Amino acid sequence: MAMKIFSERRSIRRYGDRPVEDEKLEAVLEAARQAPSWANMQCWTYVVIKDSAVKEAVAETLKGNPGQKAILAAPVLIVACADPEKSGTVNGQPYYMLDVGISMQQLMLEAWNQGLGTCWIGWIKEDEIRSILGVPENIRVVALTPLGYPAVLPESPGRKPMQEIVHREKWG
């Protein structure tokens, strides 16, 4: 079951008009809430937006991004934020990005499970979005995703073959 979701989930950039039911929205947020995190500090906060004017303002900041139209078309926009103080750093690698990444991935997979599409949008103008949404200065805006019923299911862009990504016993 899970493998089907992993392999069939696609980034959805075209959406239908059908609204997202409240129970489904709550289910995807619950999936995000259940994610593991650094010392269980749960550094993430999500901003859920349905207001078209706010979605339009955010979309305006995404000129040139293939996800721009997706945000305008989808009935819901979810903005993933993080408080870096509520996570750690190891070998110079900031774990708040991973914490949010894992939580967002759970959200995206549950969305697919519910028949809904998402698209991770990471190429963003953080300060512009922070100002539109009133996100405090100490909180990072990490990613956005539209959420809605897919209008088109794209073909898989494919994945590298297993032998290219896995070394067994040692590198090489």
Question: Which stretches of the chain bind ligand FMN, using CB under 6 A?
Answer: 10-11, 65-67, 119-123, 157
Give which of 105, 89, 90, 86 is closest to 44, Cα–Cα: 86
- Please answer whether residues 8 and 154 qualify as being in contact, where contact means their C-beta atoms are separated by less than 8 angstroms: no
Nearer Cβ to ligand FMN (76/119): 119
Residue 125 CB, nearest approach to ligand FMN (Å): 11
Residue 87 CB, nearest approach to ligand FMN (Å): 17
Residue 120 CB, nearest approach to ligand FMN (Å): 4
Residue 73 CB, nearest approach to ligand FMN (Å): 13
Nearest residue to ligand FMN, scored by beta-carbon proximity: 122
List the end-to-end C-alpha distance of the chain, in Å, as a whole number.
Answer: 33
Nearer Cβ to ligand FMN (22/126): 126
Tell me how far CA of residue 39 lies from CA of 81, 86, 99, in angstroms. 18, 9, 10
Q: How many helices (H) and strands (E) would you count in the chain?
A: 7, 6
- 3-state SS class at 42: coil
Residue 12 CB, nearest approach to ligand FMN (Å): 8
Nearer Cβ to ligand FMN (76/121): 121
Give which of 157, 155, 151, 77 is closest to 119, Cα–Cα: 77
- Please answer whether residues 83 and 139 qualify as being in contact, where contact means their C-beta atoms are separated by less than 8 angstroms: yes
Nearer Cβ to ligand FMN (40/93): 93
Nearer Cβ to ligand FMN (26/149): 149
